[in-house]
Amino acid sequence: MIIYPYDKRRMPSTELQELIKELRPEEPREFDDSGPIAMWTEKDVSRGRVVDAFVLILRTRGCYWALHSGCTMCGYINDARMEPVSAENLRNQMEKAMERYNGEKVVKIFTSGSFLDPNEIPFDVQAEILGSFEGAERLIVESLPEFVIEKRLRELYQENLEIAIGLESADDEVLEKNINKSFRVKDYINASEVLKKLKIPLKTYVLLKPPFLTEKEAIEDAVNSILFASRYSSEISLNPINIQNFTLVHHLWRRREYRAPWLWSVVEVLKRAKPRIGDVRLVSWPTAGGMERGAHNCGRCDKRVMGSIEEFSLSQNLNALEGLYCMCIEKWRDTLELSGLNRFVFR
């Protein structure tokens, strides 16, 4: 049994990768391939107004990096095939999706990996999918920066296209040792320069509370990462970790060595970062917010705080985050003050 002193905090990447793979279930899941993983509608903003957004999660073979080892907090590979999905199957999924699509002005297409990875979605099918939503004002797809290739994007270009990249942190050491990301900050910058050249907006995801960071360290890392990403992004989404099964974060959580972020930490990051990034939109939609596996407070104030975070995300008005109070905020403040004293060992 290897013990990693918390003072070091960051595990050797090779051992980290092996542990991530060991925590996954031994037998692959069986899936219903008759349609996408999920579809729903939610609120978002387009051209300065609140509109409906259509969210589509296609079932593909999954993220290539997750097949190699994966990130410490990401369990999306559990919904992927982990083997190639045919172009015909993807077209069938899209037929089901178009039956549900009702002309929403914002469309978000996820794959539990990279939309631009041709091993997940062949080039010709990528073009077909994007062409299905020409009426949308914003068409957002996700990708790792290694698939942001100028030649391919010139062929896929549409005026409504946006690319989302999960930078997570602007600290290379956090990317490598806390998250086990497939890339480094310079790769994100290179991808952003390609998108700027093509006039394709970049949406950046920033993670709140990677494992092995205290609550206070996590807040500082998120604020710094938002400020960095604002140089390249039209929109930044602050994503507090939610605990997904068969991940390293789940392993730590079950051992009582990890707590999902406080909602107070989400509010703190938004309040500190937004005044310093100008017109760049800053949003947060905490998955499983108010639940034990997601960003949460004491339970009494969670719904109210979540509502304020949503109101801010839609309006960009920091007044939505003012006047929030619950007695548990004092416990959160104590947590920050004592952050340096409650360090644990990872076993």
Q: For residue range 120-163, list pLDDT tens digits in order.
A: 999 999 999 999 998 999 999 999 999 999 999 999 999 999 99
Average of per-residue pLDDT values in the chain? 92
Site of tokens 């409650």: 342
Residues 226 and 194: beta-carbon distance below 8 Å: no
pLDDT digits (tens, 9 = 90+) for 221-255: 999 999 999 999 999 999 999 999 999 999 999 99
Averaged pLDDT for residues 331-340: 90
Q: What is the pLDDT of residues 93-103, one digit of tens each?
A: 999 999 999 99
From the list 106, 75, 112, the residue with the least C-alpha distance to 251 is 75
Residue length of the chain: 347
Banded pLDDT at 302 (limits 50, 70, 90): very high
CB 187 within 8 A of CB 172: no
Domains for the chain: give ranges and CATH numbers.
13-341 (3.20.20.70)
* 26 pLDDT higher than 90: no
In 119-262, alpha helices (H):
123-131, 150-156, 172-173, 185-198, 215-229, 248-254
pLDDT tens figures, 170-227: 999 999 999 999 999 999 999 999 999 999 999 999 999 999 999 999 999 999 999 9
Ranking 124-128, 185-189, 294-298, 342-346 by mean pLDDT, the lowest is 342-346
Please give the helix or strand (H or E) that residue 263 lies within, else none: helix 263-273
